[in-house]
Amino acid sequence: MRRSQAIFAAVAASIAFAGFVGCRAEVEARAAGWDRLPPEAGIRMLAYTSEFVKIVPRDSGTLGAAKASKWLAQEIRRMGLEPRADTWTENTPFGPKTFCNIYVDIPGDTPSVVLFGSHYDTKAGIGEGFQGANDGGSSTGVLLALAEHLAERKPRLRHTVRFAFFDGEECFGDTYRDNDGLHGSRRMAAQFVRDRVEMPLVAAIVLDMVGDRDLKLEIPRNVTPWLARIALEEGAARPEAADASLASAIIIDDHLPFILGRFSAIDLIDFEYGSGPGRHDYWHTMEDSIDKISPDSLYKSGALALAMLARIEAGAGPPPEQQQPRPAAARNGAR
Ligand SMILES: [Zn+2]
């Protein structure tokens, strides 16, 4: 190489390096403060929810449910992410039904997963045009906006973040049974049990009924204590996040199959949904419509979920005595 060439090469290299540094700085600037949602996120959440609940009915196995799953995949694809669909048929007390979970993984530095879950199906038999705006719609809108937020900000995370849209949360009959209700979450929890080594699930954070104007987010008794603790702490510490409180009762929801699978899991839910205190007259009735949903409530619920992810990223986890030892083979076998 001649001297002039060497100078040219050095200049070119320094320009390329400056470009690289500039690019990295840009990425870091975009990712900074990722754990706080921009003010307009509530409006995005409401827009997602409103569009989504126009797809009716969404009872599992119906044409509407199939449309809903396609719509979710399409929205996720629009964010530049790669949605996945898991379709299966299962026996229920009302005959075989087909279900479809939609999910998307945002890869982190490790295969350990923090999961956000929402069911997108609605209770069958409520009435024609039943929207399920809060019960099924609200948490779905929140999760879509959270996925979009992370896809745009691109923070470098330790954990892989999964957004899971469960089918078949609602039971077809009057009560939950082994083969009726929680179909989608049971399916995914079983997959995480099977892949416990390759894809360890750190936490499942389930949201349900999070859009009520009069939001009183609760944490049922049957959740994992360390997740309840960080939800309470983050809600109290962050003005933008919903202030959750401990409920007096347990609740059957999509977190339960993860608890039974011995994973850490929590449900964030406002089960008091009606025209007055103690009344549940909007729940599983035609009154569960989009006019009952507030962008502020959606925002606060989403902000709490995101703050919990930030705490887990910062090292929050189960106390040492509850940590499950990973088999030796796992360390080599993990990707
Ligand atoms: Zn329901």
If you write DSSP's letter for every residue of 99-166 in order, what string do you get?
Answer: EEEEEEEE--SSS-EEEEEEE----TTS-TT---IIIIIIHHHHHHHHHHHHHHH----SSEEEEEEE
CB contact at 8 A, 236 and 304: no
Which letter does DSSP use for residue 255 in this model?
T
Task: Quote the ligand 1 centre to 198 CA distance (angstroms).
Answer: 33
Beta strand 160-166 with 95-106 is: antiparallel
- The pLDDT tens digits of the residues spanning 146-185 come to 999 999 999 999 999 999 999 999 999 999 999 999 999 9
- The pLDDT tens digits of the residues spanning 13-63 come to 555 545 555 566 766 766 789 999 999 999 999 999 999 999 999 999 999
Length in residues, the chain = 335
Per-chain mean pLDDT for the chain: 91
If you write DSSP's letter for every residue of 27-56 in order, what string do you get?
Answer: HHHHHTTTTS--TTHHHHHHHHHHHHTTS-
Predicted TM-score of the model (pTM): 0.89
Q: Which two tokens stand for residue 166?
A: 């469960």
pLDDT of 332 reads 39
- Matching residue, tokens 């929207």: 131
Task: Quote the ligand 1 centre to 157 CA distance (angstroms).
Answer: 33
Torsion of CA 60, 124, 252, 175, to 10 degrees: -120
Task: Quote the ligand 1 centre to 41 CA distance (angstroms).
Answer: 25
Phi, psi of 266 (to 5 degrees): -145, 155
pLDDT confidence band for 335 (50 / 70 / 90)? very low
Task: Quote the ligand 1 centre to 298 CA distance (angstroms).
Answer: 17
Which residues make up the environment of ion ligand 1, defined by Cβ < 5 Å? 123, 135
- Burial of residue 14 (number of CB atoms within 10 Å: 0-12, 13-18, 19+): exposed
**Alpha-carbon distance 108 to 322, whole Å?**
24
Q: Indicate whether 2 pLDDT > 80.
A: no
**E-strand spans in the chain?**
84-92, 95-106, 113-119, 160-166, 201-208, 218-219, 245-246, 265-269
**Alpha-carbon distance 275 to 307, whole Å?**
30
- The pLDDT tens digits of the residues spanning 52-95 come to 999 999 999 999 999 999 999 999 999 999 999 999 999 999 99
Task: Quote the ligand 1 centre to 311 CA distance (angstroms).
Answer: 29
The one-letter amino acid code at 250 reads I
Task: Quote the ligand 1 centre to 123 CA distance (angstroms).
Answer: 6
Task: Quote the ligand 1 centre to 17 CA distance (angstroms).
Answer: 55
CA angle 7, 10, 14 (to 5 degrees): 140
Task: Quote the ligand 1 centre to 14 CA distance (angstroms).
Answer: 59
Task: Quote the ligand 1 centre to 152 CA distance (angstroms).
Answer: 31
Task: Quote the ligand 1 centre to 146 CA distance (angstroms).
Answer: 22
101 DSSP β-pair partners: 86
Q: Which two tokens stand for residue 197?
A: 């080594």
| C-alpha atoms less than 13 angstroms from C-alpha of 220 in its C-beta half-sphere | 23
Task: Quote the ligand 1 centre to 81 CA distance (angstroms).
Answer: 28
